[in-house]
Structure 1
Amino acid sequence: MPTPIALADPRVAELIAAETARQHDTLCLIPSENHVSPAVLAATGSVLTNKYSEGYPGRRYYQGNAVVDGIEELAASRARELFGVEHANVQPLSGAPANLAVYAAFLDPGDTVLGMALDAGGHLTHGWGVSVTGKWFRAVRYGVRRDTGTVDLDEVRALARRERPKLIWCGGTAIPRTIDFAGFAAIAEEVGAVLAADVAHIAGLIAGGAHPSPTGHVDVIATTTHKTLRGPRGAMLLTGEQHARAIDRAVFPGLQGGPHDHTTAAIAVALHEAAQPAFTTYAHAIVANAQALAAALAERGFDLVSGGTDNHLLLVDLTAKGVAGRPAAEALEQAGLVANSNAVPFDPRPPLDPSGLRLGTPAITTRGLRPEHMPELARWIDEAVTATGDTDTLDRVRGEVTELARAFPPPA
């Protein structure tokens, strides 16, 4: 029986089918991607996409929102309970708009912000020059130590004392080690700054107890919902009551109009799933897989930034292998292993052709892979990176990867 999409638009149906096959027959090692449950997928494609609900529950600018109010209130309630916060805004459309709302809530243009440098593992919206956060605000950046590859809180404190930022960011996109929220909080308190934790990558680990929580240490928590939290592509802002009004007004009417109600419903489903005992097991399994993969890669001579990982993410410096990150990622994709090239700290190469690879285990853990599979993954990664341009080797590895991928299919 043809699907509604196939009947209405065969070409789009073909493309969706091709993407379904690609995800089924490859292994995703991108740390910011995951496979959602059928329930999350169904909510994302529900009739809620038909509704316009500008405003907040009980204070909408459109009629017919009684059901939507219930959905948003449920999602917010589940977020508050899961993360132990007083207030949750589940309307941000994605991670970057959520982070922009933090600026809108607490800063004026030209104010100073202290964030982690992008090439050290931070995010564009933490004050990087190509982002409006680096153009509209005075950005100061901290990095990592050359000898350890980790954040030096003494450096952060010295910068904060000298520059007196109004906002400090902790967290980022390529940080393989535990974030010291209490240490950052002490610095923020000393200089009178608002402290924001960007936990987009590790929100699911926090929810599952596999990473310390920023709750009680920071003023606002910003997170996406589609990485380790295994929900739809959306975002949340979590805070205490003292900042609730400022955050809500920054999101609406400050930065956006109507929220995506189908996404809000899917976030509610994902939060319900994350509150179950099985998710705690899953979160710890992500870390176990990442650490097993790190050990297996180190045995094969790969240079891991900071020497390993405490979470879901590995940052690999390929300099010693004599291969740049982009051709390595392209070779891995040919071999059925989907990763992304990434800058490493103090990278001498340009951002579009960096020295590193970023690898993660959320998606393969969702599929059921375990630590005993990681040595084989490390072998394939080693063979593919070494065989860049060798089609025969990459095709052979692709066949072996496909066999494992089909044995551990994504949720359906």
Structure 2
Amino acid sequence: MPTDLSPVDDRLADALAAERTRQRETLSLIASENYASEAVLAAQGSVLTNKYAEGEPGDRYYAGCEHADEVERLARERARKLFGADHANVQPHSGTQANLAAYQALLDSGDRILSLEMSHGGHLSHGQPYTMVDEHFEVAHYGVDEATGRLDYDAVEARAAEVDPDLVVSGFSAYPRRVDWERMQGIAEAVDSYHVADIAHLTGLVAAGVHPSPVGVADLVTGSTHKTIRSGRGGMVLCGEDLAGPVDTAVMPGCQGGPLMHDVAGKAAGFAEALTPEFEAYARQVVDNAAALADRLQERGFDLVTGGTDVHFVLVDLRETHPDLTGERAEEALESVGLVANKQTVPGDDRPATVGSGLRIGTPAVTTRGFDAAATERLADAVADVLDSPDDDAVADAAAETVADLCERFPVYGDAAVASA
């Protein structure tokens, strides 16, 4: 079977080749990105892309699903083992689809959701304006303490008592500290509400045991499968047997049709890797590298939301130290030297999300490349140099040289994998 596109589609082949080069020659600091293994790439590029498999293993709407059934059973079994869950639905196309399925399983149209405000670290799929969630449900928000950047659980509890939600959402897109799942569950129970814990960013850390797990605490747990856990791109829902039926029905036909079976295969492959001792070591290094990044940036005079991190990224607040530097401009300056991060709003930000006053800088992808604390400190110095002098060509040239050296020392794929990816 041919794998080279160039004879039939030069433009597409050129774009993919250019993307391989970009990934090889830049450093991904986006907290929600990672590099899939060769096994995951092979599974996601497999012949399962040809197969429709609507329904559940052993109960499909189409014939010829016996091998697809085995793949999905593998993904489910491995997810249950990784997270200690009674039931796992691995069909959602994304973490957002997983959240939609959770709401569909637990709520009626017009019910009330309480979730973290987006500018304080929440996620679009938790009910931000202009989303389907906001259109179909009544959504209220809680925030972090703007002085500390941390969740004030007493304030969240008071907000829940005021709002009286039907569902409380915990788990966040840009909150650099551990979440007290038990406290969030208690807050939900106090107002007779369901609790959905979204571990989209934390799946790998939870699976490896380096972050507390909400499985068995929250009513439902949702997550992405391609961020810190490096599996096939998509989402999943974890729950007890009591909610298995509603969850499965909410996923299909509630939110989507046939699963992307090549992605489910990628999930099965990645979950197998996550069950190894090597993955636990990787996840611990991700957290250690984030701590090293935080320490060095603070040594260089940068303010971090919450003063540090417990997870896989830091959130830089530029307002006091670099008041004229927006998150958008900082992102552009870093990308120009091969450091790919993302702009971010910070608690109390006056700038819109498209501009932001902060940066979210993550360590999952560079840790996959093999970074240790020393390499991460070099990376932090390059970031700090560029942010301190975003318009200085000499500084940019020096930072670009550091990036090139780090990329060469820590390659993302071997030549064979790059050639066939």
Q: Normalization by structure 1: what TM-score?
A: 0.98
What is the distance in 1 between the residues matched to 2:232 and 2:344? 24
1:16 paired to 2:42: no
Would you say the 8 A contact 1:176–1:313 is kept in 2?
A: yes
Distance in 2, matches of 1:332 and 1:144, equals 28
In structure 1, the residue matched to 2:411 is 409
Question: How many Å apart are 1:266 and its aligned residue?
Answer: 0.6
CA RMSD of aligned residues (A): 1.1
Query: In the alignment, which residue of structure 2 is the partner of 1:377?
Result: 379
Q: 2:352 and 2:133 mapped to 1: Cα distance?
A: 21
Residue 146 of structure 1: aligned partner: 146
Name the residue aligned to 1:396.
Answer: 398
Q: How far does residue 168 in structure 1 lie from its aligned partner after superposition?
A: 0.6
Count of residues paired in the alignment: 411
Q: Secondary structure at the match of 1:141?
A: strand
Q: Give the aligned partner of residue 337 of structure 1.
A: 339
Does 2:179 correspond to 1:179? yes
Structure 1's unaligned 5+ residue stretches are: none
> What's the CA shift for 1:371?
0.5
2:330 counterpart (328, 331, 346): 328
Equivalents in 2 of 1:374, 1:399: separation in Å? 15
Matched residue, 1:354: 356
Alignment check: 8 A CA contact 1:124 1:130 kept: no
User: Given residue 363 of structure 2, which amino acid in structure 1 is its aligned partner?
Assistant: T
Partner of 2:221: 221
Write the deviation string for residues 59-103 of structure 1: whole angstroms up to 9, x where unpaired.
111100011011111100110111001000000001111111111
For 1:135 and 1:62, the matched residues in 2 are separated by 34
Aligned to 2:91: 91
Q: Find the residue that maps to 2:5 and give its secondary structure.
A: helix
Structure 1 residue runs of 4 or more that deviate by more than 4 Å after TM superposition: none
Give the drift of 1:370: 0.5
SS in 1 for 2:175: coil
Letter in 2 for 1:5: L
State the alpha-carbon separation in 2 of the partners of residues 162 and 344 from structure 1. 25
In structure 1, what residue type is equivalent to 2:346?
V
Residue correspondence of structure 1 range 256-267 to structure 2 within 5 A: 256-267=256-267
Partner SS, residue 7 of structure 2:
helix
What is the deviation of 1:53? 0.7
**Cross-structure match for 2:72:** 72
Matched, 1:137 2:137: yes
Post-superposition offset of 1:160? 1.3
Q: Distance in 1 between matches of 2:376 and 2:40?
A: 28
AA matched with 2:230:
R
Corresponding position of 2:115: 115
Cα displacement (A) at 1:124: 0.8
Indicate the residue corresponding to 2:160 in structure 1.
Answer: 160
Deviation at 1:271, TM superposition (A): 0.5
Check conservation: 1:334, 1:395, Cα contact below 8 A: no
Distance of 1:391 and 1:18 partners within structure 2 = 25
8 A contact 1:331–1:387 mirrored in 2:
no
> Any idea what SS the aligned residue of 2:257 has?
coil
Deviation at residue 369 of structure 1 after TM alignment: 0.6
Q: 2 CA distance for matches of 1:3 and 1:45?
A: 10
Point out where structure 2 has 5 or more consecutive residues left out of the alignment.
Answer: none
Q: Tell me how far apart the structure 1 counterparts of residues 210 and 156 of structure 2 sit (CA, whole Å).
A: 25
d(CA) in 2 for partners of 1:194 and 1:391?
A: 53
Which whole-Å deviations, capped at 9, do the CAs of 1:111-147 have from their partners, x for residues lacking one? Answer: 1100011011011111111212122211110110122
Deviation at 1:11, TM superposition (A): 1.5
Q: Which residue of 1 aligns with 2:125?
A: 125
Amino acid in structure 2 at the alignment position of 1:334: S
Match of 1:207 in 2: 207
SS in 1 for 2:6: helix
Residue pair 1:109, 1:137 contacting (<8 A) in 2 also: yes
Shift of 1:392: 3.7
Matched residue, 2:316? 316
Q: Is the 8 A contact 2:232 2:265 kept in 1?
A: no
Larger deviation: 293-302 or 135-144?
135-144
Q: Using the alignment, how far apart are the partners of 1:61 and 1:202 within structure 2?
A: 34
**Which residue pairs with 2:293 in the alignment?**
293
Aligned pairs for 1:213-292 within 5 A? 213-292=213-292
Q: Matched residues in 1 for 2:148 and 2:398: separation?
A: 37
Q: For residue 3 of structure 1, report the CA deviation from its aligned partner.
A: 4.8
Q: Secondary structure at the match of 1:398?
A: helix
CA distance in 1, matches of 2:152, 2:127: 19
Deviation larger for 4-13 or 81-90: 4-13
- CA shift, 1:389, in A, is 2.8
Once the two structures are superposed, what CA deviation does each residue of 1:362-398 show, in whole Å capped at 9, x if it has no partner?
0000011101122211211111112223334313311
Provide the secondary structure at the position in 2 that maps to 1:196: strand
Identity %: 49
Secondary structure of the residue aligned to 1:8 is coil
Counterpart amino acid of residue 267 in structure 2: I
Deviations 1:252-283 (A, max 9, x none): 01111110000001100100000000000001
